[in-house]
Amino acid sequence: MNREVPSVPFNEGDRPKEVLKGGTRLDGRGFEVFRNVFMKPGTLSQAAGSAYAEFGNTKVIAGVYGPRESERKEAFSTEGRLQCDVKLASYSRRERKAFGQNDEERELSAQMQTALEAAVRLHTFPKANVDIYCLVLESAGSDLAVCICAASLALADAGIEMEDMVSACSVSRVDGHLLLDPTMDEAYREDGSALLAMMPSANAVAQVVLTGQWSNAQASEVLQLCMGGCAQIDAYMRQCLKEAAA
Amino acid sequence: MSAAVPSSSNELQAEAFKRLYPNEYYAKFISKSLRPDGRPLGGARATTIGIHPLESTNSSALVKIGNTTAMAGMKLQHFAISSDQPVEGDLAVSVEMAAFASSETRPGRQSEAAQCVQEQIRTALRSAGAVELGELAIDKSHAWAVFLDIYVLNADGSLLDVCLLAAVSALLGLRLPHVEVNDQGQVVTKAEMGGSAAEVRRFGLKTVPMALTCGLYSGHLIADPTSEEETLAASLVSTIVDASGCIVGLYKAGGSATADEGMLLQCIEATKIRYKELMVLLKQALAEKGIQDTGI
């Protein structure tokens, strides 16, 4: 395209000004209820392991390759390496994203890596790499949590040894209410957020990210809510794997 | 401790034979006019088309041919036409391999294969006149810029066929919102001007191009090869035709074998037959979403 005048995005309608009308969420969900969750392992034929995850309109595909040789030259290590790359599709948001990695994708990749590193038994593949790639086809809120769940399911599908499955969920605080699994519009109006990735069977927390100001009481409340959410997702993920194996 | 012995050692031997001697393995099938996945030489894989799977886009399509999968999505932007430019919109096509599409793809730079497919699709849509850019004008001074982005999700051969089908499916599903340019020169929807928001304009294609890739393997023509077959084939020929059977694009990118005229004619004929199959599927997929006035 060699136009002198750059084009501007066209959006029909603005973001909703209020996401809690009369104490209910715009999609009619309870505060502590997930959107419709759907997950399926083994969706790609080329990858060693893969999974598709959908929370409401947030749609993510994850693919796992390895253990395999690293593409770059790396120093010797008795532990294996986990390499994560999360990409947002150019059309996944309201406004088109240019190709090439942006800061948000770098951040998502790094966060996903730290969340999963805790669970993967890296010493079982010394010197080698396991590559985890996520593509967010549609980004409609709680992207990172959905990516972590999809990646964890893909790792299990690839047969990579893990201490436990990792499940994740996020919470937004809007007008003092804690909203589980927030949509994009809800997250846009939040004044605080929480993301928790955990290994429910081991009852161990892999990653917590709290942003905004939280009192002690509210912080423990939000962590309880997240833990409950992770347990629900974990049960669903295990059921998905069993169904896929059957 | 001894390694576990699989119950069906025949199956193991076949798998080992395939790994060690892929060419001999494949030749045994071809000599019986069959392919390892059970297809006849000229048969294409099962194809599915899903229109509008994504809500964040103005139009989208998910296409699967066998295991090869591509997702096309479109975003609309608008721009002011400068006075020395023709009154028409713009269409930008890009093709990207998702990092997990195959074991060779890595995140980062656009792969060579994706770049090739991108150019072939761009030419088929723009130069061959499938897309009428004049139709993308909003008024004399404003027009739509359409960004058509295609992600290859799973690369198992015949990328061009899948990506082009995804591209035309998404284009046929595109509705242009009814907009006007207000006094300040801003583009606003009819609803904001006090009209009905439901009004949309369908964007038509003058002709629908579709592609078929064929592999040349020791004198045989293999339609719609998988990635395994693509590596074994001595050469690949991709043909793009339109509804009238005219050739919109013909690509034979080198390879270790040359093709004679008869071979190329066979490829073109096979593409015309495949075109009819695909058109039926495309019409069905569009009808499922209530899209019937496409004029195809």
Q: Say how many CB pairs under 8 Å bridge A and B.
A: 127
Task: Kindly state whether B76 is in contact with chain A, defined as any CB-CB distance less than 8 angstroms.
Answer: yes
| CA angle, B3 then B9 then B14, to 5° | 120
Which of A46, A92, A135 comes nearest B156 by C-beta? A46
Q: Judge whether A63 and B99 are in contact, CB under 8 Å.
A: yes
Domains of chain B: 45-288 (3.30.230.70)
Q: Judge whether B147 and B187 are in contact, CB under 8 Å.
A: no
Which of B85, B98, B147 comes nearest A96 by C-beta? B147
- For residue B180, the tally of other CB atoms under 10 A from its CB is 15
Looking only at the bridges linking them, the beta strands covering B142-154 and B90-97 are parallel
Strands (E) in chain B, as ranges, are 47-51, 59-65, 68-80, 90-97, 142-154, 175-177, 179-181, 187-189, 200-202, 210-217, 220-223, 235-241, 247-252
- C-alpha to C-alpha distance for A131 and B221, rounded to whole angstroms: 37
User: Is A57 close to B56, i.e. CB distance below 8 A?
Assistant: yes
Residue matched to tokens 């006149």: B129
pLDDT in tens, A11-62: 767 788 888 888 889 999 999 999 999 999 999 999 999 999 999 999 999 9
Task: Kindly state whether B26 is in contact with chain A, defined as any CB-CB distance less than 8 angstroms.
Answer: no
- Res. A98: pLDDT tops 90: no
Surface of B (167-196) touching A: CB under 8 A: 177, 179, 187, 189
pTM score over 0.90: yes
User: Is A91 close to B145, i.e. CB distance below 8 A?
Assistant: no
Surface of A (147-206) touching B: CB under 8 A: none
Give the ipTM of the model, two decimals please: 0.92
Q: Judge whether B175 and B203 are in contact, CB under 8 Å.
A: yes
- C-alpha to C-alpha distance for B193 and B180, rounded to whole angstroms: 8
Task: Kindly state whether A63 is in contact with chain B, defined as any CB-CB distance less than 8 angstroms.
Answer: yes
User: Is B179 close to A10, i.e. CB distance below 8 A?
Assistant: yes
Task: Kindly state whether A121 is in contact with chain B, defined as any CB-CB distance less than 8 angstroms.
Answer: no
User: Is A91 close to B103, i.e. CB distance below 8 A?
Assistant: no
Burial environment of residue B248 by CB neighbours within 10 A (0 to 12, 13 to 18, 19 or more): buried
User: Is A63 close to B100, i.e. CB distance below 8 A?
Assistant: yes
Task: Kindly state whether B94 is in contact with chain A, defined as any CB-CB distance less than 8 angstroms.
Answer: yes
User: Is B54 close to A137, i.e. CB distance below 8 A?
Assistant: yes
- C-alpha to C-alpha distance for B166 and B250, rounded to whole angstroms: 19
Q: Judge whether B210 and B268 are in contact, CB under 8 Å.
A: no
Which of A46, A47, A96 comes nearest B75 by C-beta? A96
- C-alpha to C-alpha distance for A57 and A93, rounded to whole angstroms: 11
- C-alpha to C-alpha distance for A149 and A92, rounded to whole angstroms: 19
Which of B80, B92, B108 comes nearest A5 by C-beta? B80
Percentage above 70 pLDDT, chain A: 97
Distance (Å) from the alpha carbon of A99 to chain B's nearest alpha carbon: 9
Name the band, by pLDDT with cuts 50, 70 and 90, for residue A227.
very high
Task: Kindly state whether A139 is in contact with chain B, defined as any CB-CB distance less than 8 angstroms.
Answer: yes
Residue (of B195, B147, B192, B183) closest to A8 by Cα position: B147
User: Is B147 close to A6, i.e. CB distance below 8 A?
Assistant: no
Q: Judge whether B240 and B164 are in contact, CB under 8 Å.
A: yes
- Res. A118: pLDDT tops 80: yes
**Max Cα-Cα span within chain B:** 84
- C-alpha to C-alpha distance for A115 and A157, rounded to whole angstroms: 18
| CA angle, B116 then B122 then B126, to 5° | 155
Q: Which residues does chain A have within 8 Å of residue B189's beta carbon, measured at their own beta carbons? A: 12
- Would you state the pLDDT for residue A195? 96
Q: Helix H segments across chain B? A: 9-20, 22-31, 112-122, 159-172, 227-232, 261-288
Q: Which two tokens mark B27?
A: 């030749």
Distance (Å) from the alpha carbon of A38 to chain B's nearest alpha carbon: 15
Per-residue pLDDT of chain B (296 residues; tens, 9 = 90+): 344 455 567 777 888 988 899 999 999 999 999 999 999 999 999 999 999 999 989 999 999 999 999 999 999 998 988 888 889 999 999 999 999 999 999 888 888 899 999 999 999 998 888 898 988 988 888 999 999 999 999 999 999 999 999 999 999 999 888 888 887 777 777 666 555 555 677 777 889 999 999 999 888 999 999 999 999 998 999 999 999 989 999 998 777 777 788 889 999 999 999 999 999 999 999 999 888 777 67
- Would you state the pLDDT for residue B7? 52
DSSP state of B233: S
Residue of A nearest to B198 (CA): A12
Question: Packing angle between helix B159-172 and helix B261-288, nearest 10 degrees?
Answer: 40
| Residue B67, SS3 per DSSP | coil
Which CATH class name applies to A29-245?
alpha beta
CB-side exposure of A131: number of CA atoms within 13 Å? 21
